[in-house]
Structure 1
Amino acid sequence: MHMIQGHGQGRCPLRLFYSRSTIYAVEGGVFSLSCKATYCEKNPSKPELIWCKQTSNGCSFLPQLVEFANRTKAILHFGSGTLISVLQISPVHINHTGIYQCRGKFPSLNPIIAMGHFITVLVIKFKMFTPVSIMSGLRGDSLKLRCIVEFDEHLNTTLTVHWTKDNGYCNESLSRHKTSSQAMATDKRSFTLTLSNLQREDAGVYYCCAASKLSAQIIGMGLINVHVHSVNYNRIYFALVLIWKVVTLVIIIAVGLTLICKEKSHQQKDDDTSQSEKSIKKSEECATKWIEVEERCCSTKRTAKS
């Protein structure tokens, strides 16, 4: 911790304490700036603590900067002659990278009377996810569980990734199964856990855990729920779906053929009726002609006799 004594306060100065360590913050996450002040309780008012960030105009107070609008929350803890101010910034933006300083004053005294040292805040890229959340396998088969980590150059040598089972605290590593990693890009790696010769006891929730030695805030976790079956329910399901589709297709074809047969039957009946009507009409025409011929013959015979 570092202490800087205020000035112009005689035997009862306002003193500020906070760490000199660089703060690593994850983009999209949250980080905190903590500053402790000690003061004399005989002062008519309690001190105020405020953080500023170095800009081209000097050290600008955070409420005056656009990148901190609606992103800060102050938590104050008062004790006997002490004040601890914790400023939480969320969600973290890449523009929050910079140099910060804690300053303090008493409201009754307008000028800043105590200034702390400068500390560095470095916002880094860090993201972890699993492509799938549920996987299933048969006893004796193998499964490959995969998680993907995206990070920037600051984590190249400090990032560690391991797998655990049924342990959300990530404090134990799996040793029975094989793990491997593969670079997908300069800032992305894939970490794979291979489960071989699956048994019922391999079922459970597997956690992919990532952490960095740079900061306790740089930590990520993804999970995959693994099911182990004695029977391939997926194959049964697809077989039932296939059977259902085949039966449906057969029914559709049968109905279609029935309709076609009925249509042809009606058409045949219509054709038969039409043919019968044509035959009757033709018979009637023949009979009419025969009568006409008979009448002509009879008429010719009468004319010959007379």
Structure 2
Amino acid sequence: MILENQTSSTDFILLGLFSSSHTSLVFFSSLFIIFILTVTENALLIFLIHRDSCLHSPVYFLLSHLSFMDILHVSNIVLKVITNFLSGTRTISFAGCGFQVFLSLTLLGGECLLLAAMSYDRYVAICHPLRYAMLMSDSVSVLLATGSWLVGILNSIVHTAYVLHFPFCEPRVIDHYFCEIPALLKLSCVDTSHYEQGVDVSGIIFLLIPFSMISVSYVKIFHTVLQTKSSEARRKSFSTCSFHMVVVVMYYGPFIFTYMRPKSYHTPGQDKFLAMFYTILTPSLNPVIYSFRNKDVLKAMKNILKSNFHHKN
């Protein structure tokens, strides 16, 4: 009754990540800190890439788009969790839920394609360095970034419109911390098996194919690195590529497991746990793994700090 009295006939109720207990305050504090760090890290990276001319290259151009996607994604989901926790409510309007689904799918799909584009950039840079300027020109990098956004938006429009068209049974309680398609499908009063086949097709396009491309790219990179004579170069390359692959697996693995399973195999606790990887953890790790371990980015940061210090003096 309490849940039903919180919402109108069209609103949804998000059960969230934590209940109203003392331990929930610890989880909330951790989530809030991660959110602030994620936004700060990604915003700083975008600022550095924009300000330092040494970072005006295709790889950093793609990274700036990845950071922007991560800021939007974590804000789209975590801000609602934070506001609901602080206000003591759990409701989200039908329009708010629809917007959350649309933006989430746009950014998740776009990021899947963008990560594949970034792996292609690294493959060309390491395996075909003499042809890098031609294969990864400014126009190609703009095309890859724009394509990631546009294809992600088109896919999101189709799925959002289709999912929100289903009739939902009362009470509209979503056992999740945001409006995600598998959780919404559990509330549907009609058979959604045909639509789930469409989700599987999207999963192949946005998850399996990009993940396969990334895996092949890094296998070829490892093969090229093994042929280099410098042991120091091999060590650095292996270290960098290994960290990249760990983040990729953390992102694609839970994503594939969530979206490419039948609805009957989903459990709320499992879905929440898996979703945390691609909605909260990887956006916070991406700047560290892809950029802040990079000497060019660290040099750009030092240059900015030095210029500000000299300007003040």
Q: TM-score, normalised by structure 1?
A: 0.19
Higher RCO structure, 1 or 2 (CA under 8 Å, sep 6+): 2
Q: TM-score, normalised by structure 2?
A: 0.19
The structure richer in helix per residue is 2
If you compute each CA radius of gyration, which structure gives the higher value, 1 or 2?
Answer: 1
